[in-house]
Structure formats: structure tokens, C-alpha cells
Amino acid sequence: MKSSLGSLLIISEDSPESFSPAGERIRHMALGMASNRVFDKVVVLTSGAKRQSQQTARKSRVFLYAINSTMRVPFPISSYLNPLKLLMFLVQGAFVLRTEKTRYIIASMPPVETGLSAWALSKTLGAKLIVDLRDDWEASLESQVTRFIPKQLFIPLFKLAAMVYSSAVCVLVVTSTLENTVRRRVAQTRTILAQNGADTAVFKPQNEELRTRSKAKYGLPQNKIIMMYCGSGINPYYRLDIVLQAVKSLPDSLKNKAFCVFYLYNGQSYYKRLKHQLDIPDNLVEIREPLPRSSLSGVMAASDIGLVPFDDKRFLLCATSTKVYEYLSAGLYVVGSGPPKGELESFFMRNPKLGLFAHASLRDYARVLAEVLKDTSEYDDGSRNSRHQFISEFYDRQKVMVKTAERVGRYVRVS
């Protein structure tokens, strides 16, 4: 067994305790980096409720530091660059590096503040920098905030990001499309593919008897095909409006077979109003409050179809969404939409038994929903178990992160 690389600091906006997709990635990354003593100790520095340093898993040698500030920077400045957050990461990061004698830093990006703080700390305190890049945040930011901030102001911000990437020992990327995007922007950047995935120990399929019990427990109709979406209701690139309109446009014969439920952790009131405006009855669509993760996995397993309604914007070419893997791990058939020739479409083209891809338009989404409601062959126990097995073999999040840690260890030892 090769010697350990010492201590590692991970700087992330999302806490591993948050159960957000980014937080889940950080949690499994920390556990993977601490596995097999790739690193002696892993410290995660994140924003969130202020608390003392705590050990999240005694045997894993993973520790958590959380910082908080009552001061807030208004939108859209906070979307561009939050100087308060940058300062907090710098100050607390310097404390951790000195007390823990850390030799390596992973910056989880976005936001850019984590990358800039990690870059500054690596330069001043002699640690080596690694970047974990989760999406094409530059294209996303430019697409969504240019109506508030002049486009020219993004040039220096993107140059700073390129400086961070080029200073890193390596950049971890979630998809091959994002890998190519990074290399176009910074040709000399070294990349390692570290895909997203699902916690297959949490998201598991249920047999028909258990699904019947779960439906009764969570108020889902017993004799309908359950379509579900869980996540944000305010991110503009999730086109839940198209889903609602597509469901409304279905013929009555298919509406009688279907029930669509949204579990939203924000934006509930907006979509309840939209549902009312579209005159969609409660026995066809419900907008619900978010559930604890343990309950959410049970609702997923009781459902039949998972929805990932991405918009068709070019910055989503790199995206697949953690939801895809969690739905599949729970046994669901997935209907996804997004830009043509993107990662999501490519995923379903390679694996047609897992789901269908729709273009982000009312007409095409309605067509695909009608197709999956007519053919119920994909909702039996065998098909559900097969989808779970696929994720367990290729996209189990912990397995992915253990392999990523091993690759990072081999890479940095020779760099």
C-alpha cells in the first residue's frame, strides 16, 4: 500500500449534511478520499449553520467545519461574486490549513468564491490545488444574469476562473462534455472524469407489495402510473411549466391512468397558482412540500416515472442531473428533456431501457409522456431491479468516489 498524501481540505458552499445534490457529492467525495488511507484526514469547510468542528464518521477520518454570516449580499451581485463569502472561506481556510497541516485543497465549483479562496490559500500556504467542477457555471451565469449585469463584466471573472483551473494539479469533471469544455477554455488543464451517481444503499426499488404500502403511506393513488419530480421549483432551467402543460394536454383516456406529483423545496406557491390557472385537477397533479431524504427514497420507489425536465439552453449540454441516477437506482423509468446532442440525450441513446429523451417543448414532452403511459411494460419488478443493478454497477456514488480518490492519488504522486 502506497503512503498517504497527508491531510486534505475540501472547500464547498454545500454542506455534506444538506442532502442537496452538491452536498451529497461532497459527502461521498470526502469518504472516498479518506478510504484506504489515500489521505490521513479529510476536512470539509462549508457554509451553513455555525458549529464546532465535528467528526462525521470516526473510522473514516472525515471532519466538518461550517461557517455562517448574518450579512447578505443582494442579488444579482451575489450571483457574480460574493466578497463576504470569499473572505470567510479565506480566513477559516487559513485556520484549517495551519492547524491541520493540510497539503492538498479541493475546491468545489461553483461558486467561484470557493475556487478563488482555494487558489489564494494554495499560493500563500503552499498547498496543492484540485478543482471539482460540477457544471458549466460560466455559461449558466452568462445566460441567466446578463439582463442584470453587463456582459463585459464577466470577462475578468472568467479569466480568474481560468487562472484557478490552470493552477490546479487536476480538475475533476462530472461529464466528458464538461471535460471538453474546460480544455477548450484552458488548454493545459489536466482533467479526471468523476461522474455523478446515486447512493444505491438509500435509493432502492420495492416489490409490488411494498409499493402498495408506500402509496398508502404517502397518499399516492394505488391504480395509477405515478410520475414524480423532486427538487427546486425556482431554477429557471427546470421547465416544470412544460410538464404541467403536457400533462394537461393528454387525452382523457391517459389522464385517467396518470398521477403527477411535484415535491418542491421552493417555488410551491408559484406552481400551485400555475396549476390553478391551467385548471388541472388534484386527482391529476399535486404540488407538495419537500420530504426528508429517508421518506423521499420511499416515495421514489413507490412511483413509476421520474421526471428531469431540463430546458434546451446550451449551457445544459454538460448536464445529466443527480436526479437521473437516483430515480434509476430507485427503479424508476426516466423521462428527461434538454438540449439536443447533450449529455442527457446521449445517456438515453446509449441506454434505451432506462428511459426516454424529449425535446424541451410542449409538443414533444406531451408525445413522450403519452408513449410511456400507453406502454406499462417497464414498471414491473424485473425492470425496476434491472435499473437499480445498472446504477449499482456503473454509477454507485461511493464506488465512483473511491475510484476517483485512487486516480487522484496516483496522479498527484507523479505530478
Tens of pLDDT along 308-361? 999 998 888 888 888 999 999 999 999 999 999 899 999 999 999 999 999 989
- Across the chain, mean pLDDT equals 86
The pLDDT tens digits of the residues spanning 359-372 come to 989 999 999 999 99
Residues 183, 314, single domain; the answer is no
Q: Is position 327 within any domain? A: yes
Give CA–CA dist 383/199, Å, rounded. 19
Q: Is position 379 within any domain? A: yes
Give CA–CA dist 170/172, Å, rounded. 7
- Lowest average pLDDT, out of 12-26, 41-55, 199-213, 293-307, goes to 41-55
Q: Is position 176 within any domain? A: yes
The pLDDT tens digits of the residues spanning 92-114 come to 888 888 887 788 999 999 888 99
Q: What is the structure's pLDDT at 146?
A: 62
Residues 229, 180, single domain; the answer is no
Q: Is position 2 within any domain? A: no
Q: What is the structure's pLDDT at 415?
A: 62
Residues 150, 273, single domain; the answer is no
The answer for residues whose C-beta is within 8 angstroms of residue 296's C-beta and 6 or more apart is 230, 263, 290
Q: What is the structure's pLDDT at 3?
A: 57
Q: Cα angle at 207 between 203 and 211, to 5 degrees?
A: 80
Residues 334, 386, single domain; the answer is yes
Report percent pLDDT > 90 for the chain. 46
Question: Domain count of the chain?
Answer: 2
- Compare 23 and 118 and report the one with higher pLDDT: 118
Residues 239, 157, single domain; the answer is no
- Lowest average pLDDT, out of 8-22, 296-310, 314-328, 365-379, goes to 8-22
Q: Tell which residue, 89, 90, 119, 102, has the closest CA to residue 63.
A: 102
Give CA–CA dist 207/225, Å, rounded. 15
Residues 143, 253, single domain; the answer is no
The pLDDT tens digits of the residues spanning 254-265 come to 999 999 999 998
Instruction: Find the CATH number of the domain harbouring 176.
Output: 3.40.50.2000
The pLDDT tens digits of the residues spanning 193-225 come to 999 999 999 999 999 999 999 999 999 999 999
Q: Is position 45 within any domain? A: yes
Residues 175, 308, single domain; the answer is no
Residues 244, 380, single domain; the answer is yes
Q: What is the structure's pLDDT at 5?
A: 73
For helices 240-249 and 362-374, the axis angle rounded to 10 degrees is 60
Q: What is the structure's pLDDT at 389?
A: 96
Residues 294, 258, single domain; the answer is yes
Burial of 145 (0-12, 13-18, 19+ CB in 10 A): middle
pLDDT band at 138 (very low <50, low <70, confident <90, very high): confident
Q: Tell which residue, 355, 360, 145, has the closest CA to residue 245.
A: 360
pLDDT of 69 above 70: no
Residues 254, 380, single domain; the answer is yes
Range(s) of the domain holding residue 368: 208-394
**Taken in order 221, 225, 227, 228, is the CA torsion positive or negative?**
positive
Residues 234, 147, single domain; the answer is no
Q: What is the structure's pLDDT at 19?
A: 65
Q: What is the structure's pLDDT at 218?
A: 93
Report percent pLDDT > 70 for the chain. 90
Q: What is the structure's pLDDT at 74?
A: 56
Q: Is position 122 within any domain? A: yes
Residues 164, 237, single domain; the answer is no
Q: Cα 311 from chain centroid?
A: 16
Please state the pTM of the whole predicted model.
0.86
Q: Is position 1 within any domain? A: no
Q: Is position 233 within any domain? A: yes
